[in-house]
Amino acid sequence: MNLLYKSTRNSDRTVTASEAILKGLAEDGGLFVPEQLPKLDVTMDQLKNMTYQETAYAVMKQFLTDFTEEELRHCINSAYDSKFDTEVIAPLVKVGDVYHLELFHGATIAFKDMALSILPHLLTTAAKKNHVTKDIVILTATSGDTGKAALAGFADVPGTKIIVFYPKNGVSKVQELQMVTQKGENTYVVAIHGNFDNAQSGVKALFEDKELEKELDAAGYQFSSANSINIGRLVPQVVYYVYAYAKLLQNGEIKAGEKINVTVPTGNFGNILAAYYAKQMGVPIAKLICASNENKVLFDFFQTGKYDKNREFVLTSSPSMDILISSNLERLIYTIAGQDAKKNKELMEKLKTEGAYEITEEMKAKLSDFAGGYATEEETARIIRETYADTGYVMDTHTAVAAYVCRQYKEAGNDTTKALIASTASPYKFARSVMTAIDEKYADMDEFDLVDELEKVSQVEIPNAVKEIRHAEVLHTRECDADKMKETVKEILRIEV
């Protein structure tokens, strides 16, 4: 079966998987979605004995049907190799009565590595397939983690350039250092004066700018994206939910067919959407629990059916979730609207012009797979401290938001379903917030002294990603106002401004 993709804002035209990956965003501003969600063609009994790489092939071949087996296996094996500091790629760790799926063992110690290690390989393979002769310019907005993972993935990849925009003062010190010390002749990092939503909206506007597209074309460039708006980012994320279930089964933690709850710390909605896709493929998931920080636009949406970004933007200790426009939610809206591109487009226009939209009761009824919860800053710190005191396990702030929401959900409904938490970043990435949550005495310590203390406390060796930036030279100092992103891109690409 050849699975084709269409835009969430126009169902008339279809493209292949490789074309969707190359484009990143559809020409009408919509996101690419498969015409229908495929089913797994292997049983959990078969999957439970598979390696991560074998599971990745079993899942991804269902979505990327115009890639040959040889091409896809090459992409997978090139991505999931010694860049990860653990052979199993995504270890499962039991913490108290829940299971943490550790997704931060890649080169940049965040879950974005799971998809961004493979995206450059998928993209360059897609370019060859579609006889692309232009250089591909990867344009990305980051709330902290995507940027570094994309930079690391695309650094010095022939035929590509990568430009990353991040909010100045809106990411952790380690996140910023990871980006601004990135090597690579084709890498560019820009701090914008604004928040992540400004960066993300700016990037989307550049994709939709037809005049800029012509100028790029004339200069021998075309845009693509490494954000989770790119289907090539989303598909690899489905893999680890399939893998986690199969491993729980192999370890005797669950019985065949037993349903589990999955809690995901959520900002842009890509990671939890991947879990939803895994459920649609046949993974026995009961509830998908969407965990928000104090920017609880998604929690309010699941409560009321109204998405409203007209609110104060809060800077929290979990900055990768400091987001008020959750781009990937559009893919879910399109699905619950019965794949009605016209209806979806209407709602997205409302979001753009009025900052809010409301779904119908009929659409709301189709959200029964999901539950929402949120954690305040105080609750986030408390669960880091309590979990450490009870188990000795140290988790980062984003994972802590999920852990708190997971606990709340269990207690509120007296729910005894086994629970999986997507553990999205190493505590080393947010050492200051993590250490001060454990004990206030660390509040005035230097960033890297805190890293040393964290090593003692957690009994986990300092990852290479942190060791490397300790004395690394700052290579990127470019900044711009949020409304000057287009000029900045043209300047970088040496196109007449």
Which residues of 341-481 form beta strands (DSSP E)? 356-358, 370-374, 418-423, 479-481
Give the integer Cα–Cα distance in Å for 123 and 118.
Answer: 9
H or E element at residue 133: none
CA 53 to chain centre: 19
Burial 233-245 (b: 16+ CB within 10 A, else e): bbbbbbbbbbbbb
Residue with tokens 């399109």: 334
Q: Alpha helices of 84-170 — where are they, by DSSP H? A: 112-116, 119-129, 146-154
- Based on the residue annotation, tell me whether 342 is a catalytic residue of this protein: no
**Packed helices 377-391 and 397-413: angle between N→C axes, nearest 10 degrees:** 90
Rg (CA), the chain: 21
Question: Which regions of 10-159 does DSSP assign to beta strands (E)?
Answer: 10-15, 32-34, 92-95, 98-102, 135-141
Q: Which of 112, 161, 247, 345 is catalytic?
A: 112
The amino acid sitting at 177 is: L
For 108, the token pair is 């940049």
HEC letters along 404-443: HHHHHHHHHHCCCCEEEEEECECHHHHHHHHHHHHCHHHC
Q: What angle do CA 418, 397, 202 make, to 5 degrees?
A: 110
Contact 363, 304 (CB under 8 A): no
The C-alpha atoms of residue 290 and residue 328 are separated, in whole angstroms, by 13
Q: Report the catalytic residues.
A: 112
